[in-house]
Amino acid sequence: MFVINEMPAQIDAGLVELLERVEVATIGHVLHSGFVDPALRAVLPNKRVAGTAVTLRIPNADSALLHYLTAHVRPGDIVLIDRCGDTRHACWGGVITNAMKLAGVKAGVVDGPATDFSEIAKVDMPMWCRGPSPITTKILGLEGAMNVPVSVGGQVVKPGDAVLCDESGVIVLAPGEARAIAERAIKMQEDEIVLLERLRKGEKLPDISGATALVEGKRQH
């Protein structure tokens, strides 16, 4: 049986642009939740993309619903796939990569393996997964769910969430909270530029960060 829900509303283009100025690791200084398991790693280096979460839950070796989704995705979407614990079968390969790229999909995030990494590089499709596998899914037509809440890397993802991916990992944000978080992170990144300039001029990091005062204030004599 297949559960098919409508495609979610896409997040504002201005918010996407703002998020793509943010490093995921900077948000890690602000938040402790929302992050996908870091075992889901970028296939391609030096990519940072943000977009709207489109979700799939496809158990076992059946990728019929993923093929179906390629006719419905839109430019700006990021496809996140709950594989229900299957770490053996690669649901995402060269054909899916090309179909998603042609549809304008920003990235794929699979809680499981993928395959055809050379094709992913050739097409330049940003991709996060648990590594490669040569064993692929099949078009079985058994079951699955599209645009439902899913679990990807231990993180609940709802269709329409804001997603930001880069070399450090993947974070999922509620659309209503994403702008404030992005603005705070960008301010931190700007402050870091000032900090690095102070270091280059000879100041010491613990003096700037306050670590010197904290440690020496509790130093045993």
What is residue 221's predicted lDDT score, i.e. its pLDDT?
67
Residues in the chain: 221
- Measured CA distances, 196 to 52, 89, 101, 110, 185 (Å): 34, 45, 38, 36, 17
Q: Find residue 109's DSSP bridge partners.
A: 80, 128
pLDDT digits over 136-190, tens only? Answer: 999 999 999 999 999 999 999 999 999 999 999 999 999 999 999 999 999 999 9
pLDDT digits over 107-143, tens only? Answer: 999 999 999 999 999 999 999 999 999 999 999 999 9
Asked whether the beta carbons of 50 and 181 are under 8 A apart, the reply is no
What is residue 204's predicted lDDT score, i.e. its pLDDT?
92
Residue 203 has phi, psi (to 5 degrees) of: -70, 155
Question: Does residue 218 surpass a pLDDT of 80?
Answer: no
Ordered structural domains, the chain, with CATH: 2-174 (3.50.30.40), 185-217 (no CATH)
